[in-house]
Amino acid sequence: MSLDQADPIFVGGTVGKSVAKPDNLEKVQGRAEYIADLYRPGMLHGAILASPHAHARINGYDLTDALDAPGVVAIITGDDVGDGRMGAFIKDEHAIAKGKVLYVGEPVAAVAARTEEEARQACRLIRVEYEELPAVLSPEAGLEPDAPILHEKLSEYIKVFDAGSEGNLCSRTELSEGDVDAAWADCDVIVEDEFTTQPQAHVSMEPCGALAEVDATGRVTLWSANQSVFRVQANVCESLGLPMSKLRSLTPRVGAGFGNKMEPHIQPITVALAMKAKRPVKLILSREEDFEMVRARHPYRVRMKTGAKADGTLVARDCEVLVDCGAFADDSPGVLGYSLLMCGGPYRIPNLRASGRLVYTNKLRFGAFRGFGNPQVLFAGEQQIDQIGDKLGLDPFEIRRRNMLQEGDQWFVGPRIGSNGLARCMDAVEEAAKGPRADGSPRNFGLSVTAHISGLLGTGAIVRMLEDGTISLNTGATDIGQGSDTVLAQICAEELKLPFDQVVVASPDTDGSPYNWGTTASRVTYTTGRAVKAAAGKVVEQAMDHAAEMLDCDVEDLELREGGRIGQRGSNTDVTFAEISGRAHWAVGGPLVGSETLVFDEPTHDPKRAIALGLPFPRIGVFSFAALGVDIDIDDTSGQVTVHEAWSAADVGRAINPRLVDVQLHGGFVQGLGYALYEEMVWDGARLANPSLMDYKVPTARDVPDAIHTFIIEDPDPTGPFGAKGAGEIGLNTVPGAIANAVAKATSARHTDLPLTGERVLDGMLGPDPSQD
C-alpha cells in the first residue's frame, strides 16, 4: 500500500486531539518546497562578500574585475542603498554595510550571476578599500570611557522606547519593587555569585535564504525563510526606502527558526540585487555564513544576590546583567528587558531589583532565540534557590513550594497571571522522579522551574466560508514546522464544529493575510488562536442569521451541530453550511466572512507597585509555567555529563494538540541540553572560530536519553482560546539550571559558567590544578 492510499489520517479532529500535521505528508515524500527549492524563470543566483574586519571604514569599492567575471549580471554595495535603517527596537541597521563594517562576516557586497558558483567566484574579485578601526570585542570594553564607538549617530536613530542609548550603550533597563537595600537586614541566608553564559547558535537545519522578483511596475515579490512575512516586509521597506505597498512578502515551507528567522537576514540584500539586476535573484546562505552573519543567543554576565529567612521565605533579590548586543540592536533590547522581568522566577520576592545594560560590540548581532533571555537568568536564579535550600535543609521541591506565586498574585512589576499550574507541574515531576533508579542506585537529581509568557502585539484572522461550506482560514502566521497551522485549524474547526479536514489554512501573504507580528514569543496558539476563535465565532453568528431566515425561526432557538449544520433545538430539521453559504454567495447577504484583529493590551507595568525604566514591552502576555527534573550521570574519566532520565512538565493552559505540545517539550529539552552541556560559539579575537557543524556540535540522536518523560498540565487561561497558553519556549528554559543543580548534587561543586563541559565538571571535581591529580 503506498502512502497515497493509506487510511485517511485526518479523520475528524477537534481541540485536544493529536491531529497529524497535514504538511507532514509532503515532507516525508520529499516534496515540501523550502526557499532553496524555488526557481523562477530567468532567475539568477546571489552570493555575498563578507567583511574580513571587525570594525573598519569603507573608503571605496572597485568592482571592475568582478563585473567582468563570467556570468555576473549585477553587484550591489552600500552605495546602492539609501540612508534607510531598520530595527525592531532601535533602527540602526542598513540593508548592507554602508560607510562602515561592524563585524567579521557582515555583508559588504553581493553579486547576482547565472550560477551560485559564478556569483561566489565573482565576490572574490571585488576590491574594498578599508580603513581599519579599533574594535570592541566585549561589553566591558565597550563601556570603557575611551572605547571606539560603533554607532556614531546613535542619538539620531529612531527608537521605539526609552532606551537610554549613549556611546556604545545600546539600551538599559531598570526595574524594582520593594526596598532591596533595606531588605538584606531581614535575611538569615544570603547567596551571591556572578554567572556567565555563552553564545549559542540556532542551527535551524535550513540555512537562511530569499528569492526576490520585480514586476513590470517595479513592485517586488519576495519569498524567504522567515518567522513573519510582515516583519520581512517592514524591514526590507525601512532599509531600502520602499513604500510597504511596493513589496509583497511570502513564505514557502520554513526549515525551523527558533528566533533566527524572525527579524531580517538577507532579504533586503536579495531585494536590492533583484532590483538592480532586473531579474529574479535567489540567495541561499551556506551553513558557515548562516553562523557568521545571521544572529545568535546572547552571552550574559549575571550578578545575582538572593536572600531568605531561616524558614526559607525569600526576602530579596538583586540582579544585574551585562549583555553583549553585537553590532546591531535587533531584538536585543527586548531580550534584556524580558530577562529582567523574568529574573525573579515564579516566586514571591517582595524586594526585587533588576538592572541591565546592553552594549554594542563588533560581533554579529545577537537576537531572539527560544527562551529570549530567560534561560540565562534562570541558570543563575534556580541555582541560588537550591543553594538557599541546601543551607536551610529544605529539599528543592520544598523551598520552591514555600515561595511560588499563588493564584491572584501579580508577576514582577505588575502583570496579571491568568492561570498558574506550577504546583501541579512540580507535583508531577516529584511523583514520577521519586525514589532511586530502577537498579536501586541513587539519583543525581536536579530541579528547575520557570514561567514564560505568550502574547505580545498585533494579530488577526479571517475565516471565510466557501460556497460548499468548507472553510478557508487566513492568519498570516508563518508555520515554521512546529504545527501552528494545524493548531489554528483545530481551533477554527472546533468553534465551527467541523471536522478538522474541512478547514484549510492559507499561506501567509502580506497581500492577502491579516497582520501577524510573527511566530515568536510562544504566541501563535494564544494570540492568533484568540483571533481565530473570535473570527470563526463571527462566521457562526452570520450562519445562524441565515439559518434563522431559512428555517423561519428565531436565532435563539437554533443550535450549531457537529459537521456543519445548524438546526432548531428539539427538532431534526436543519440546514447545512453548504446550503447557507450558497444562499449567502448567490442570493442574500453576501459571502460569509468573519474577521478579528487584536493586540495584547494588558499593561505590564503597575506603577503602584514597581518602578520601571526602559521597559521595552509595555504589554507583554499571559504566563505558562513549567518544571523540569533531571537525573544525570557523570563520566569519571572525562567529567562529561549525560542525562539518565528527565521529567518535563508544562502548564500550557489547554493542549490544543497534545502531541505537538509534547514535541515542543522534547525538542526544547534537547536544544537546551546542547546549550547546557557543549554548544558554544567561540571567538578568536574578532573571528568566530567555529562557524561550521564540524566544530560547533549539536546533540545527535545518540546523545539524548530515551527516558524523557513529559507531562502536560492544563490550567486553562481565562483569555486563551479554549484556555490555551504558549508552549514553544518553556521546555528549553529550565535545562541549564536543572542540570547545574544536579551537577552540584553529584559533585558538590557549583558551576557558574555555561556550558557545563566535561572539562569544567572535571575541574570542579578535582580542582583546577592537574598537578594535584
Q: Looking at residues 87 to 146 of the shown chain, list those that interact with other proteins (rule: CB under 8 A).
A: 104, 114-118, 123-125, 132
By CB under 8 A, is residue 659 in contact with other proteins?
Answer: yes
Least spacing, CB of residue 92 vs other proteins, in Å: 23
Q: How far is CA 107 from the centre of its chain?
A: 24
Cα separations in angstroms, 440 against 273, 301, 443, 641, 658: 65, 40, 9, 20, 33
Least spacing, CB of residue 87 vs other proteins, in Å: 26
Least spacing, CB of residue 381 vs other proteins, in Å: 25
Question: How many CA atoms lie within 13 Å of 186's alpha carbon, on the beta-carbon side?
Answer: 17
CB 535 within 8 A of CB 595: yes
By CB under 8 A, is residue 284 in contact with other proteins?
Answer: yes
Decide: helix, strand or coil at residue 469: coil
Q: Which of 671, 639, 679, 672 is nearest to 198 (CA)?
A: 679
Binding string, 485-504, against other proteins, x = CB under 8 A?
Answer: --------------------
By CB under 8 A, is residue 44 in contact with other proteins?
Answer: no
Least spacing, CB of residue 698 vs other proteins, in Å: 6
Question: Which grid coordinates belong to 663?
Answer: 514535541
β-pair partners for 709? 647
What is the Cα–Cα distance from 601 to 584, expressed in whole angstroms? 35
By CB under 8 A, is residue 484 in contact with other proteins?
Answer: no
Query: What beta strand segments (E) does 466-601 contain?
Result: 471-474, 503-505, 558-561, 565-568, 574-576, 593-599
**Which residues are CB-neighbours of 169 under 8 A, at least 6 positions away?**
142, 143, 357, 358, 359, 360
Residues 349 to 408 in contact with other proteins, rule: CB under 8 A: none
Nearer to other proteins, 20 or 244 (CB): 20
Nearer to other proteins, 585 or 709 (CB): 709
Nearer to other proteins, 9 or 598 (CB): 9
CB 129 within 8 A of CB 51: no
Return the H-helix or E-strand segment holding 276: helix 267-277
What is the Cα–Cα distance from 312 to 403, expressed in whole angstroms? 8
By CB under 8 A, is residue 213 in contact with other proteins?
Answer: no
Residues 680 to 719 in contact with other proteins, rule: CB under 8 A: 680, 682, 684-687, 689-704, 706, 708
Nearer to other proteins, 207 or 345 (CB): 207
- When computed from its CA atoms, the radius of gyration of the chain, rounded to whole angstroms, is 27
Binding string, 244-283, against other proteins, x = CB under 8 A?
Answer: ---------xxxx-x-------------------------
By CB under 8 A, is residue 8 in contact with other proteins?
Answer: no
By CB under 8 A, is residue 39 in contact with other proteins?
Answer: yes
Nearer to other proteins, 162 or 703 (CB): 703
Tally of residues, the chain: 773
Decide: helix, strand or coil at residue 575: strand
Amino acid at 492: C
Binding string, 406-425, against other proteins, x = CB under 8 A?
Answer: --------------------
Residues 285 to 344 in contact with other proteins, rule: CB under 8 A: 286-288
Nearest 10 degrees: Cα torsion 732, 733, 735, 737 = 170
What is the number of other CB atoms lying within 10 angstroms of the CB of residue 310? 10
Taking CB under 8 A as the criterion, the residue among 32, 392, 551, 598 binding other proteins is: 32
Least spacing, CB of residue 114 vs other proteins, in Å: 7
Size of the site for other proteins (CB under 8 A): 104
By CB under 8 A, is residue 757 in contact with other proteins?
Answer: yes
Least spacing, CB of residue 432 vs other proteins, in Å: 16
Least spacing, CB of residue 643 vs other proteins, in Å: 12
By CB under 8 A, is residue 199 in contact with other proteins?
Answer: no
Question: Which grid coordinates belong to 613?
Answer: 525604566
**Which residues are CB-neighbours of 159 under 8 A, at least 6 positions away?**
89, 90, 91, 165
Taking CB under 8 A as the criterion, the residue among 46, 53, 248, 301 binding other proteins is: 53
Nearer to other proteins, 65 or 407 (CB): 65
